[in-house]
Amino acid sequence: MSIDKDVSTGKEAQEPLEPRVGPVPEGDPEFRPYHHPAAGWGAAKSVTRFLVEERALVDGPRAIMRMNHENGGFDCPGCAWPDDTKGLHLDICENGIKHVTWEMTPKRVGREFFAAHSVTELYGWSDYDLENQGRLTEPMVYDAESDHYVPISWKEAFALVGSTLRGLDSPDRAAYYTSGRLGNEATFLYQLMARELGTNNLPDCSNMCHEASGRALQASLGTGKGTVDLKDWESADALFILGVNAASNAPRMLTALAEADRRGAQIVHVNPLVEAAATRTIVPHDFTDMALFKTTKTSTLNLQPRIGGDMALLRGMAKAVLEKSASDPKALDRTFIDRHTTGFEEYRELCEATPWEELEHQSGLSRAEILKAAQVYEEADRSIVSWCLGLTQHEHGVDTVREIVNLLLLRGNLGREGAGPSPVRGHSNVQGNRTCGIDHRPTEEFLDRLAETCGIDPPREHGLDTVGTIQAMREGEVKVFVGMGGNFALAAPDTPATYAALRSCDLTVQVSTKLNRSHVVHGRAALILPCLGRTEKDHQRGGVQSTSVEDSMSMVHLSLGMKRPASPHLLSEPAIVAGMARAALPDSETPWDWYIEDYDRIRDTMAEALDGFEDFNRRVRLPLGFRIKQPARELVFLTPSGRAEFSAAPLPDVVPEPGTLALGTMRSHDQWNTTIYSDNDRYRGIKNLRTLIFMNRADMRERGIADMGPVDITSTAKDGSRRFLNGYTAIPYDIPRGCAAGYMPEMNVLCALGDYSTQSDQPIMKHVKITVVPGA
């Protein structure tokens, strides 16, 4: 399908691409390296422009003052970075503001809209245009005869879901996807519904982001989460930040980095690209800094490994620490190792046996660079290692995260202030989703307790994750897809395969706030069920309800919407789950309607069913909420050995074959996953362009590619199959040779469905094997 017109502006597109994701560019593509500090006035200017364009100048700022407020207010629906421990009232960021404003848009998508545009027509629109139509207002059902969505009552919509689910020959013929924004209460009811129906088919977005972290931390420490909190960030001597684009994707981390620099802590960034957070910032809520343009350093050392080279770097650092310990026994924390760990000797031998040449070759760093990082680590009493997708979306994501733990264990950087592993989670409640039961591989203990508390007989076989669900839909094994938020069609790998999978379903149900690709790529029957956003007032019989969320550092707190709902016909997510459950489970003894009258009742059940949620209703109302206990933080290890377990995985070969490049797909500054705000990527100096590939200039020359010249990209999957993206623009960038980078979701067409990690089942989105040639 080619797209040649921007429906909102009527402008002609220059180069039709299929399908266009972002808006039609406002001008010619530009690339001018960015030399300003992160956040600060650049961000303030961008926010103002955004508020004006979204016509939200009144509501926007008012809402922002209520965001991340201790004691009331709503949780920023953006990223999962924790709120300031001091209960700071203005801990906000440019991208959080964009995110909230995008939800609060005055634009609406009503029945007239759907009457005016067929689904085939809408499929031809860009993803930007689909979302930019505004908020969905009433339930809609696909009418195949007219190829339009038409209104349907909630009652009939639920009845359609119910009868379709009841008609399946097995409960495993349905899959229930969760995007990480869903609040804890809706999450709990959603997994309860799936399990009462009889399936563990609970794919979620975390299958694509931090599955590797969860599995690695579980194996090493017996808990699937990080062990540190913001207070620890405030007292660490050394912070290692690996594979995160913090200035865009967790901007409030900049505040922590700037504070760290001011107190003299060392900050090491490890990323093939030197991202904006690895330079300096103007602390956004520090008004004197803003007024005086005062910048603060946010980095003391930048290392640019090759894509996938992190594990070799970490092992090199460990090797250096071990070498140092020969002359300086204090380089290791022997007491900690002896008392709390197992597997040390094997790991030591492995490190010693790995030659420096191999570590240099695999990491893409010199021995001197690795030693520099090791020195920072050795000299710090308290170290935190933090990471995001740059480490997880790889074949060896689990081994790499376990290598982080290995390194931390050597110096006892665990279970004490200012030290430990700290994954940066993605969606605002993706961690809470897992805690509250979204897990296709639930433990026996979890299921036993759920069975006892809720009086159901949950299935014991493991269910399908994201990739497994797509495969099963394609094979006709899954016939019903329910999406609780998100944009599965566009977020998942191998776009054509995912489209075909969704189209082969009997029924697709999308619970959404905005129109997106997953509504126009649908099953034979399809429902759009519009829900309240997090900023909106949720009125139920028992009064106005709040929901709870859990941030990256295991803090659980309440979020209370205060805006009038976008439409009187919206239902809350818990109410939609209950509506579907009632229709699908007519004989259920679960009090679905009673739960919805007052979410305290859901929380009372959760307090009994979930570990760490004792006294939930009281504790969640404390000013800053409460922190879920991390056994590993107390040096209690729920591992088979009862100790923290060193791993001794072989170093993978990550060096691209001659002629090929390793491609990492990532986000631009102006996007939220599949939601694109503009074609700009400010910190990387890009304007008016998304169909680009960042390359090392020498790699470009070798291939006869001009600066900003056209290129064709081919990926080769593990099974040898090839995928293509033509007409991209090559940007000469400061990135190691053999590496390339570009934007998701456009580049998902290059990610083969079968190319997932055998360790985590995560799609390999940061190490796609490609060749690039000059294009027409």
Ligand X SMILES: Nc1nc2c(c(=O)[nH]1)N[C@H]1C(S)=C(S)[C@@H](COP(=O)(O)OP(=O)(O)OC[C@H]3O[C@@H](n4cnc5c(=O)[nH]c(N)nc54)[C@H](O)[C@@H]3O)O[C@H]1N2
Q: State the binding string over 510-529 for ligand X (x if CB under 6 A, else -).
A: -xxxx-x-------------
Give the residue from 356, 365, 359 showing the smallest Cα distance to 269: 365
Residue 310 engages ligand X in binding (rule: CB under 6 A) = yes
Within 196-225, the residues that bind ligand X by CB under 6 A are 205, 208-209
Give the residue from 683, 669, 678, 693 showing the smallest Cα distance to 750: 693
CB atoms within 10 A of CB 325: 17
Looking at 422, 548, 674, 715, which residue binds ligand X (CB under 6 A)? 674
Give the separation between CA 717 and CA 723, rounded to whole angstroms: 8
Measured from the CB atom, is 545 or 552 closer to Mo ion?
Answer: 552
Pairing of strands 507-512, 525-530: parallel
Smallest gap from Cβ 29 to ligand X, in A, equals: 20
Residue 432 engages Mo ion in binding (rule: CB under 5 A) = no
Judged by CB under 6 A, the stretch of 1-9, 226-234, 236-244, 703-711 that binds ligand X is 236-244
Residue 516, binding choice from Mo ion, ligand X, none, Cβ under 5 to 8 Å by partner class? ligand X
Residue 664, binding choice from Mo ion, ligand X, none, Cβ under 5 to 8 Å by partner class? ligand X
Task: Using CA atoms of 15, 21, 22, 24 in order, give the dihedral in degrees to the nearest 10.
Answer: 30
Q: State the binding string over 383-402 for ligand X (x if CB under 6 A, else -).
A: -----xxxx-x---------
Looking at 119, 385, 765, 772, which residue binds ligand X (CB under 6 A)? 765
Q: Give the strands of the sheet with 626-627, arranged side by side.
A: 547-550, 555-559, 626-627
Cis peptide before 272 (omega within 30 of 0): no
Within 70-129, the residues that bind ligand X by CB under 6 A are 79, 95
Measured from the CB atom, is 591 or 650 closer to ligand X?
Answer: 650
Residue 583, binding choice from Mo ion, ligand X, none, Cβ under 5 to 8 Å by partner class? none
Residue 672 engages ligand X in binding (rule: CB under 6 A) = yes
Q: Could you tell me if 213 and 221 are in contact, meaning their C-beta atoms sit under 8 angstroms apart?
A: no
Q: How many residues does the chain have?
A: 776
Give the separation between CA 742 and CA 731, rounded to whole angstroms: 10
Categorise residue 775: left if φ over 0, alpha if ψ from -120 to 50, beta otherwise: beta
Q: Which residues of 425-442 are buried (b: 16+ CB within 10 A; e: fewer)?
A: bbbbbbbbbbbbbbbbeb
Give the residue from 99, 22, 16 showing the smallest Cα distance to 64: 99
Looking at 124, 390, 421, 426, which residue binds Mo ion (CB under 5 A)? 426
Backbone dihedral angles phi then psi of residue 222, each to the nearest 5 degrees: 75, 15
Q: State the binding string over 192-221 for Mo ion (x if CB under 5 A, else -).
A: -----------------x------------
Backbone dihedral angles phi then psi of residue 453, each to the nearest 5 degrees: -70, -45
Q: State the binding string over 357-376 for Mo ion (x if CB under 5 A, else -).
A: --------------------
Smallest gap from Cβ 27 to ligand X, in A, equals: 23
Judged by CB under 6 A, the stretch of 240-248, 401-409, 499-507, 682-690 that binds ligand X is 240-248
Pairing of strands 722-732, 710-716: antiparallel
Measured from the CB atom, is 205 or 507 closer to Mo ion?
Answer: 205
Return the SS3 of 697.
helix
Give the separation between CA 521 and CA 399, rounded to whole angstroms: 36
For Mo ion, which residue has the nearest CB? 426
Q: State the binding string over 428-467 for ligand X (x if CB under 6 A, else -).
A: ----------------------------------------
Q: Which residues contribute to the site for ligand X (CB under 6 A)?
A: 79, 95, 131, 179-181, 205, 208-209, 242-245, 248-250, 270-273, 275, 307-308, 310, 388-391, 393, 426-427, 484-488, 491, 511-514, 516, 531, 533-534, 573, 664-667, 671-675, 741, 744-745, 747-748, 751, 765-766
